[in-house]
Structure formats: C-alpha cells, structure tokens
Amino acid sequence: MELTLGPLAYHWTVERKRDFYARIADEAPVDTVYLGEVICSKRAPFFEREMPQVIERLQRGGKRVVLCSLAEVMLKRERQATADLMESEDHEIEINNAAGLLARDGRSHRVGPFLNAYNEATITWMADQGATHVCLPTEMPGEAVGIAAKAARDLDLGVEVQVFGRAPLAVSARCYHARAHGRTKDNCQFICEDDPDGMPLATRDDQPILRVNGIQTQSESYIELLAELPEMKALGITHARLLPQNVDMVAVAQVFNDVLNSGLDADDGRSRLSTICAGTAFSNGFWHGVAGYRHINRKAVAA
Amino acid sequence: MRAEGRFSEAGELVCPAGTPAALRTAVDAGADSVYCGFRNATNARNFPGLNFSPEELEASVAYAHQRGAKVLLALNTYPPAGKVDLWRDAAAIAARVGVDACIVADMGVAQHIATNHPSLRLHLSVQAAASSPEAIRYYCQNFGVKRVVLPRILTIPEIRAIKQEIPCEIETFIFGNHGLMVEGRCSLTNWMTGESTNMDGVCSPAAKVTYEEDADGALRSCLGGVTIDSFAPGETAGYPTICKGRYTAPHRPEGYYAFEEPVSLNLSRLLPDLMEAGVHAFKIEGRQRSKSYVRKVVGSFREAVDAIRAGATPDLADLVALTEGQKETQGAFKTKKWR
Amino acid sequence: MTDATTHRPASRWPIFPTAPVRALLQPVLARVVRRIARRHPEMFARIAPYQQADFLIVARELPFALHLRPDPEQPVFRAVPRYPLPDHDARIEGPFMLLLNLVDGEDDGDAAFFSRDLVISGNTEAVVSLRNALDDVDGSIAQETADLFGPPGRAVLGVLRRRSGT
C-alpha cells in the first residue's frame, strides 16, 4: 500500500505552499502528491504561476503528480478551469465533478472523493468510462469499502481511502468564511487565508465540532486510521491518503510510513501523531460505521 | 409513449407525499405529479413511519393515474457497496407498478435502470448536484436523463443560461426546507450520528434528536448529544439540522447562524420569472410534512400556476405560518449576494 | 433535563384531585381506542417499532393527561394525573384544539413545533412515527370518535370547534 498526499484544502499563501511542497518533495515518504484547488475557484489564480515549478520539483523528488479538478462547478470560470484541466495530456488528473467526466470523454483519469463512487455498480461504470483509480468517499464504512475495493481491484483500478486529516463533510455554494465576517462570496477579500487549518466552530456550550474552510465544512478532529492500515491492506486498498493540515506533514507521513512499512506499533504511532498534532483529537468512526467523530479502540473491539 | 405524453405542459407542479393519504391529498389539491419513496434507504427521506410499501405504491399510482396525475419515485440515495440490490429491486417494482419516472442520483443506479428498464423515464435528483450544463449533459448523454432537478444555488439568469445548453427539462424547488449544503455531498449527519444522508437516506434522524427544556424555559435541540441550537422562550424554532444551528467562532463568541438561520424557501413571487427562464417543473419540498401542509401548499401553488398560465397575476396565499423558523427566503434565486 | 413534573404549565384549572373525573372517562377512552385500532390497522403498522411505547399527551387546558400505548392487540388510552406525570417514553404537549387538529390532519405538526405551540420531549423518533402514522389516516378521527357517541358526541365536538374557530 502506497501513501499519497491529497490536495491542500486551505488557502495558504503562495510562499507557504511553495515551501510546503518543496519539503514534501525532499522529505515526505509519499509516492503520489495531488495538486490543485478543489474547494474554491477564486483561490486558484494565486498559485497557477507557481504550478509548473512545483510539479517539476515534486517530480524531481520522485513523486508522481496528479492534478485535481474542482468539487463544485457552477460559474463560467469554474467550467472553464475544469475543461482546461481535462485537456491535460502531460499529467494524470483526478476528477471531482461530473462536468469533468463529460470533458474527459473516456480518456484515462482518476475518480476523486467528491464523485460519490460508493458501490461496485458505479465503480464498474466509471472504469468503463476511463477511470484507472478511485478515491472512495471518506464517510464509507470499512465493510462497504472492502466490497468496493474488491470490485475495483477486479477491474484493475487503484483504490484509495483517506487515512489522515479533517473529514471533508460538506460543500455549499455559500462561503461561510465570508459570512462569518459579514461579507459575501464575491466580496470575500480572501479572509480564509487567516485560517490555515480552517476556522473553528464550537457549539454554544463550548464543544468544538466543525471547521469552516470557505465553502467547505470539515470536521474538528482529524481522521486517523493507523490501527486500521493492516486491515485496509488486506482488503486490497492500494493507496492511503493523507490530507494536508497545518502541522508537520513530513512527520505525519513518516509515522504512517513507519506503521505501514517498519513495524511501528499503531498505538506508538498514535502517540507520536498526538505530539505532532498537539491539541487536535483523532477520529475513526466513519471506518467503523459509527458516528464519524468517535474514536474506536481496536483492542477494545477485538476483545 | 405513455410517460412522455404525461410530461408535456410547462409549469408542472411536483408535490411531496410521505404517505398514501398525503399522495391522495396532493392529487386532490391539484398536483400534476407526486413524488414519493419506499420505506427504506433507497430515498432521502427514510424517516420512521413514513413512506410507501410496494402495495401502497401500486394503489397510489392507480389513484393518481385515474385522476390524470403522475407518480415519481425517489431512488435518490447512493447505495453503499454490497447493498445495490435494494435499489435494483426498487427500480423493478417501480417499473412493474407503472410509476412515471424514477428520480436518481447514483451513476450505477442510473445505468442499471437505463439498461434494464429502458422505458422507465429518468429524472436526475438534486442529490446528484449537477449544477453546470456539462454535468447535466453527462447524465443526459449516458443515461438518457429527461429532467434535471437543479441544486438550490443558482440565480434565475444562471438557470436561463443553463437551459440553453442542455437537452432536458429543468425542475426547481419553489417551496420548503432550504438545504444549505450541496445535496448528495453532505456527511454532517453521519459525522454526528453514524447514519448517512447519502447511504441511509436520513438527515438528522429523529432517533438521534433530543429536545431539552432548560431551567430558563429555553429549548435546546441536540443531535447525537451535540447541542445544535437553543431557542429562548417564544423564539421560533427550526429543524434540528447541523446547517441550521448556532455556533461560536473565535471572533463570534456570542454565537451565530454559521450556515443559515431557520428559514424556508418560498419562490411564489418568482414563478413567472422561473417559467420565462425555461423551468419546466416546480417542486415543493416536504415529504416529511403533514397532509395539512400538502393541502395548503399544493392548493396555493395550483392557483398561482393556473393564474400565471391564464395571464393573470397570481393571488399569493400567505404560507409563512408553515415555514421553518416562520421566516421565508428566496435564497440563491434572487441574488448572488446570498452566496 | 425535561421533566414535566418540575414545572406546572399555565392551566386555568386549579389543582384539584382529578381521580373521579378520570374514573368516569376511562371506559369511554378505552372504547374510543379499541374502535380506532379496529378501523385503522394500517396506522398501527406504521408505528410498529413503538407499539409498546408509552406516550403522554398533555393538553394544556385539561386537568389530567392522556396515556396512549398504540399496541394493536391491547391498546391503552386512559386519563392519568398531571402532577406528577407517570413514567413515559415520549411526551407531546400543546393546546387542546391544536392536538385535536393534529390528530385529524388539520394542522401541521412541524409548523406547530416551529411556532413553539407544540412541545415534545423524550423519544423523538417515537413521536415522529406516531405523527406520521396518524397522518396516513384518511378522514377525521375526532369525527369518528364523536360519531361513536351519537348526537351528544357530535354536539360536543361542534362546540369545541366553534370555540377554537376551526
């Protein structure tokens, strides 16, 4: 099973992104890096100029680079960005909206988590249409993932599941970052740049529960599937996705790599991860088919 | 073709039914079409005590057809791997009892129906989140979709532009619960409760909702033990959904509606503009609501559409009492500022 | 926590022993629920998981509450004291005519909840199931009940409806 770095969901500054990917290129034990703006089309132009160098840098570091399309396609610029990306022959692409599927017209592509490939029928259909790899929706329970993975493997598709990072829980046409500051999406002034790990929302009795990232809503806690890695491998999952958070992602990738390939105990891995991600709780409820925010202890389950 | 003949006139009123009695009420109140679902996870209103058995659907189709109304079956959830047969069986029943169309979201389900029940008309559910001409054309070209239910995120000029680029009919919501998140892409309920909107057809399932009256008379609504909102005595309330809750942010310590306040969509004043923009069918939300709601809302919109068709100005009944939070909005349809 | 026994909603009834009134009502209520169970079996199918649940229906104007257990074999419908309320799975509270109209599908439960006229507590799913089951009944349960008692029954219902203007 290979580790991948999923697309960055947040609006980091250009310098910061450049430095981030440079370090990933040099140090992170991941095989594939997904690049591109998935959440907000307004952010995309900032980094466009840097993309060729970043891609080249990552490739020099031995990484396979996959370019991602937007999850929401509604406006003219979003349709155009999607159409342009689908013409790419130089790089693999991951499609996150059916608009991309139309433009890709059967040429090879990866299926992103926003395309809702929940079952074997849909995966079979997508494979017929040129899909080579599918990232399953984050909310799928392990039981269904196993069946979906088998179908995908039978069709020779790569199968990917998110194992780290905030759970992507919803997208909207409305920008909640702008709304929180009394602005509209068209006049947002990129306020989301102030929250490199999302804007925290707590209940009125002070329980932190969600993060706002522009039009996206994410979980407060990070998904963490360290103890589940052996089971995932056995189910035929080929790729484990780490989503970039505002922590030392090289260190995060090393923990996952150590558990996966160097025999590090999952519990020890989790304690290392807790230090790296100080102040953030971990969840694995989705995988175990219970409320996503929960954390199920594998040993307790087995007992 | 039987089905095509029934879907001819623009301004079609598509009305909700959670029970056979509600379906009969909708038909009697003037619905052109009624949409409903089976009593399981194959539709997005899989609520306790609600929905239809196959026998009830068969009888309801007969009732509707005798009175010139159509029945649309919502098969608009996403089957998780290993459970696809439940959706296939539902499609087979739909074909057997003669429903006029199936409303689908999942590509596997759409492809199954297009292949195995080619005479069954397909509508693309709002749960498919097709919000561009390209996405809509993808479903039209590959599965023969005849109508798209548009997400509630587009302005009327945007709808008009889409209509010019797609080969199918457009249906838009005109009244009812105003979902804030892109439908079919929301896992908020699953995060809090372990039941999925996409896979199980539930949004804030009642079994996980509790209402607690605090000492000061405030009503606290909780989902999966998490406080969604607290309403002062006398303050109007809303559904206990995460996207209608009040939260605090670091710079908003007082708590605010981070996504949307409890409010319902009401586009009664925009009906002529929507028809002029090329909207073929108007959808009323509310399969979870009562016969009383169905009777009042359907009756009111029936009169409005008939008036518009006759070239008259519709007399718009006051429906605000039936709305969530007792407040109405025109949402994204009126202005981009909503975003 | 919700506990109906800790606060006494405004009632124009003084606190007085309701046992004699309740004793008079019990056979009447029993007859009503048996008849409904006989005439509307499909309604009970919709509440299948909650046929053994104890619902308390509290009409704000009445000095007693109503206890409903929608068991098709042995339905329970009886008057119980309000102070204190007996143990229950779910409680539904509102003005009498609102409750009557909800039973009859003349009012919308969600709307009554949004306006805070209707208060529910306890097992929300049980309440929603009961609401949906009742809503699938064609015609008026109130009218059927009134008919059960002939002209006097219909007269009482008429007075109630005129008073509330529905």
Is B82 within a domain?
yes
Please indicate, yes or no, whether residues B21 and B62 belong to a single structural domain of this protein: yes
Tell me what pLDDT residue C8 has.
47
Is C70 within a domain?
yes
Break chain A into its structural domains and give their ranges.
2-167+221-266
Please indicate, yes or no, whether residues B79 and B23 belong to a single structural domain of this protein: yes
Question: Which pair of tokens denotes residue A167?
Answer: 């759970």
- Portion of chain B with pLDDT greater than 90, in percent: 77
Please indicate, yes or no, whether residues B273 and B247 belong to a single structural domain of this protein: no
Q: C121 has which bridge partners?
A: C91
Chains B and C touch (3+ CB pairs under 8 A): yes
Tell me what pLDDT residue C14 has.
53
Determine contact, residues A139/A292, Cβ cutoff 8 Å: yes
Mean pLDDT for C139-152 is: 81
CATH superfamily name and code, A2-167+221-266: Aldolase class I (3.20.20.70)
Q: Which chains touch B (3 or more CB pairs under 8 A)?
A: A, C
Cα B229 to Cα A147, A203, A216, B240, B250: the distances in Å are 38, 8, 21, 8, 18
Closest by Cβ to C114, choosing from B288, B291, B324: B324
pLDDT in tens, A135-146: 999 999 999 999
Q: CA of B79 to nearest chain A CA: how many angstroms apart?
A: 6
Tell me what pLDDT residue C4 has.
39
The model's pTM: 0.93
The pLDDT-based confidence of C6 (bands split at 50, 70, 90) is: very low
Is C144 within a domain?
no
Please indicate, yes or no, whether residues B275 and B249 belong to a single structural domain of this protein: no
* pLDDT at position C106 over 50: yes
Is B333 within a domain?
yes
* pLDDT at position B160 over 80: yes
A151–B259 C-beta distance less than 8 A: no
Cα B168 to Cα B171, B206, B280: the distances in Å are 10, 36, 10
C-alpha span between A86 and A99 (Å, rounded): 10
Cα B47 to Cα A25, B288, B317: the distances in Å are 49, 8, 29
C-alpha span between A293 and A281 (Å, rounded): 9
What are the counts of helices (DSSP H) followed by strands (DSSP E) for chain A?
12, 12
Is C59 within a domain?
yes
Tell me what pLDDT residue B111 has.
98
Task: Round the average pLDDT of chain A to a whole number and report it.
Answer: 96
* pLDDT at position B317 over 90: no
* pLDDT at position C3 over 80: no
Tell me the CATH number at B333.
3.20.20.70
Task: Round the average pLDDT of chain B to a whole number and report it.
Answer: 92
Q: Does B234 touch chain C (CB under 8 A)?
A: yes
Chain B residues touching C107 at Cβ < 8 A:
290, 292
- Portion of chain A with pLDDT greater than 90, in percent: 95
Please indicate, yes or no, whether residues B104 and B57 belong to a single structural domain of this protein: yes
C-alpha span between A168 and A113 (Å, rounded): 9
- The H or E element spanning position A135 is strand A131-135
Chain C residues touching B22 at Cβ < 8 A:
135-136
pLDDT in tens, A49-105: 999 999 999 999 999 999 999 999 999 999 999 999 999 888 999 999 999 999 999
Q: B172 has which bridge partners?
A: B282
Is C86 within a domain?
yes
Please indicate, yes or no, whether residues B173 and B199 belong to a single structural domain of this protein: no
Tell me what pLDDT residue C21 has.
85
Determine contact, residues B91/B109, Cβ cutoff 8 Å: yes
- Residue B313, φ and ψ in degrees, nearest 5: -85, 125
The pLDDT-based confidence of C156 (bands split at 50, 70, 90) is: confident
Q: How many CA atoms lie within 13 A of A261 on its CB side?
A: 11
Tell me what pLDDT residue C146 has.
81
The pLDDT-based confidence of C90 (bands split at 50, 70, 90) is: very high
Interface test with C, best of B202, B213, B236 (most C CBs within 10 A): B213
pLDDT in tens, A222-262: 999 999 999 999 999 999 999 999 999 999 999 999 999 99
B158–A139 C-beta distance less than 8 A: no
Question: A189 CB contacts (<8 Å, ≥6 apart)?
Answer: A183
* pLDDT at position B135 over 90: yes
Is B240 within a domain?
yes
Q: CA of A59 to nearest chain B CA: how many angstroms apart?
A: 32
CA-nearest of B109, B152, B204 to B330 is B152
Q: Would you list the DSSP string of A209-258?
A: EEEEETTEEEEEEEEE-STTHHHHHHTT--EEEEPP-SS-HHHHHHHHHH
Tell me what pLDDT residue B69 has.
97
Chains A and C touch (3+ CB pairs under 8 A): no
Is B8 within a domain?
yes
Chain B residues touching C8 at Cβ < 8 A:
none
B248–A116 C-beta distance less than 8 A: no
B235–C116 C-beta distance less than 8 A: yes
C-alpha span between B308 and B112 (Å, rounded): 39
The pLDDT-based confidence of B234 (bands split at 50, 70, 90) is: confident
Chain B residues touching A129 at Cβ < 8 A:
142
Mean pLDDT for C144-155 is: 82
CA-nearest of A42, A179, A75, A184 to B157 is A75
Query: Which residue type occupies C108?
Result: D
Mean pLDDT for A14-40 is: 97
Chain A residues touching B108 at Cβ < 8 A:
119-125
A99–B135 C-beta distance less than 8 A: yes
* pLDDT at position C10 over 70: no
Tell me what pLDDT residue B2 has.
39
Query: Which of A203-207, B23-27, B38-42 shows the lowest per-residue confidence on average (mean pLDDT)?
Result: A203-207
Is C11 within a domain?
no
Is B183 within a domain?
no
Domain that holds residue B193: 188-257
Q: CA of B60 to nearest chain C CA: how many angstroms apart?
A: 13
* pLDDT at position A294 over 90: yes
C-alpha span between A10 and A19 (Å, rounded): 15
Is B146 within a domain?
yes
A102–B138 C-beta distance less than 8 A: yes
Chain B residues touching C130 at Cβ < 8 A:
49
Please indicate, yes or no, whether residues B165 and B70 belong to a single structural domain of this protein: yes
C-alpha span between A43 and C91 (Å, rounded): 51
A219–B259 C-beta distance less than 8 A: no
pLDDT in tens, B87-129: 999 999 999 999 999 999 999 999 999 999 999 999 999 999 9
When comparing pLDDT for B325 and B303, which is higher? B303
B248–A172 C-beta distance less than 8 A: no
Determine contact, residues B179/A270, Cβ cutoff 8 Å: no
Mean pLDDT for A37-42 is: 96
Is B19 within a domain?
yes
How does DSSP classify residue B168?
A: S
- Tell me the three state secondary structure of residue A30: coil
Q: Which chains touch C (3 or more CB pairs under 8 A)?
A: B
Please indicate, yes or no, whether residues B291 and B216 belong to a single structural domain of this protein: no
Closest by Cβ to B187, choosing from A79, A97, A139: A139
The pLDDT-based confidence of C5 (bands split at 50, 70, 90) is: very low
Q: How many CA atoms lie within 13 A of C75 on its CB side?
A: 24
* pLDDT at position C7 over 70: no
Domain that holds residue C76: 19-139
Is C24 within a domain?
yes
pLDDT in tens, B176-209: 988 778 999 999 999 999 999 999 999 999 999 9
What is the count of structural domains for chain C?
1
Mean pLDDT for A13-39 is: 97
CA dihedral B126, B127, B133, B137 (to 10 degrees): -110
Chain B residues touching C105 at Cβ < 8 A:
21, 290-292
Question: Which pair of tokens denotes residue B90?
Answer: 């539902």
Please indicate, yes or no, whether residues B144 and B207 belong to a single structural domain of this protein: no
Tell me what pLDDT residue A100 has.
98
Determine contact, residues A5/A34, Cβ cutoff 8 Å: yes
SS3 of B278-316: the string is CCCEEEECCCCCCHHHHHHHHHHHHHHHHHHHCCCCCCC
What is the count of structural domains for chain B?
2
Q: Does B204 touch chain C (CB under 8 A)?
A: no
